[in-house]
Copies of this chain bind each other. A is one copy, B any other.
Amino acid sequence: MREIGIGIVGGGYMGKVHAVAMSCVGAVFQTELRPRLVMVCATSMASADRYRAAYGFEQGTDDWRVLVNDPRVEAIVIASPQETHREIAEAAFALGKPVLCEKPLGANVDDSRAMVAAAEASGAVNMVGFNYIRTPASQYVRQLLADGVIGDITYFRGEHTEDFYADPDASATWRTRGMANGTMGDLAPHMINCALAMMGPVASVLGDVETVHAQRPDGQGGLAEVTNDDHAQVMCRFANGAMGHLFFSRIATGRKMGYIYEITGTKGAIRFDQEDQNAIWLYTSDGDDAQRGFRKILTGPSHPDYLPFCQGPGHGTGYQDQIIIEAKDFLTAIASGDSHWPTFRDGMEVNEIVAATIASSNSKTWRNVADFKS
């Protein structure tokens, strides 16, 4: 067991949960590497200092270069807006430091490509913060699929739906500007990553990407243009031949954390809804016909990464715990020197599918994902 100095860029929504995760991941998972919260970076010294004190860092800074360059900082978590990811990651890799970067990897495909190149050139551990795929439930679903429990997959349906912009009168902000902050840029990556994890590569897509509310109040009595998308759907074919459908929305009234998937196989089916994240619904076509049905399996010690949180089944894990699992995987990767899935390359593949989808929506034609690969 030895300490590792952690620097986190950003102290907002995600910066905080990463800081909390780094505070306790060692106690939860008995990781070999034990995080020491060295430095946090924010856009002003005032907020950086606030975060430092609140989360227990040794130092705050308003310049991410200071954080990246500090020799006490041995691993970096990037939890700042997507537009900043590339530059920070490149600087970290130049020094050979491991990076856990929040999703989406880059603000666009070009950024992601550059980040992958930098990561791979450096040989440093790299990982993307797709936390939802790390619940004990979704990890177990991956095992079920790998074990062929539901046979060959014929159909995959996924959603990432929330309703924070469902109200047409909600004001425009930075979130309503720039493709990286729209539904395809910001929400879609989680579920695209999930689809890839469950199903393997996507071969082709047909997208329909839409800005439903073209203008929103600008907060000053006027109206502002909305320059990114409110919802989007994609029909796809996976490389294994299966049919797929993905839907993403920030205007899905009533949906709070609609990270949902339904997977149909020749011998069974699986359903999952992140709004009840401790349950997996499994159907198998065996046994007495009169006794078949979707069973609601509650996660417990026999599922991946659950036991460290609680010895009792059905007691449940939550959002913060996903980030703790992520921190464990990041630390384990650093200790071993081998990057843990999903790497930057995996994150880039997500961006490629986002790009293919938007292109398809614009051209109104099917697009091969291969054409969006470098």
Contact = CB atoms under 8 A, between A and B. Distances in A.
Interface of A: 1, 13, 16-17, 19-20, 23-24, 26-28, 30, 34, 53-56, 140, 149-151, 154-155, 157, 162, 166-168, 206, 208, 210, 212, 230-231, 233, 235, 237, 243, 245, 247, 249, 251-258, 264-269, 274-280, 282-283, 285, 289-298, 300, 302-303, 309-321, 364-366
Contacts of A53: 1
Contact of A235 (B157, B208, B282): B208
Contacts of A140: 290
Interface centre among A140, A151, A243, A364 (most CB of B within 10 A): A243
Contacts of A316: 257, 274-275, 277, 316, 318-319
Contacts of A253: 150-151, 264-269, 283, 285
A233 B208 contact: no
B252 A243 contact: no
Nearest to A154: B212
Contact of A319 (B20, B252, B309): B309
A215 B293 CA distance: 27
A150 B269 CA distance: 25
Nearest to A16: B27
A257 B302 contact: no
Contacts of A231: 154-155, 243
Contacts of A303: 290
12 contacts: A1-B53, A24-B24, A140-B290, A245-B247, A251-B264, A251-B266, A252-B269, A254-B293, A256-B300, A256-B312, A276-B279, A282-B293
A229 to B, nearest CB: 11
Contacts of A292: 254, 295, 297
Contacts of A364: 365-366
Contacts of A251: 154, 264, 266
Contact of A309 (B258, B296, B318): B318
Given A23-B24, A155-B252, A254-B293, 10 more contacts: A154-B251, A166-B266, A233-B235, A233-B245, A255-B314, A256-B300, A256-B312, A256-B315, A276-B278, A283-B295
B233 A266 contact: no
A174 to B, nearest CB: 16
Contact of A257 (B1, B13, B266, B313): B313
B282 A291 contact: yes
Contact of A294 (B17, B26, B206, B296): B296
In the A-B complex, the 9 residue pairs with the smallest Cβ-Cβ separation, listed nearest first, are: A256-B314, A254-B283, A318-B318, A295-B295, A257-B314, A293-B297, A293-B295, A317-B318, A315-B319
Nearest to A140: B290
Given A168-B266, A253-B268, A268-B254, A27 B1 contact: no
A53 B31 CA distance: 11
Contacts of A155: 231, 247, 249, 252
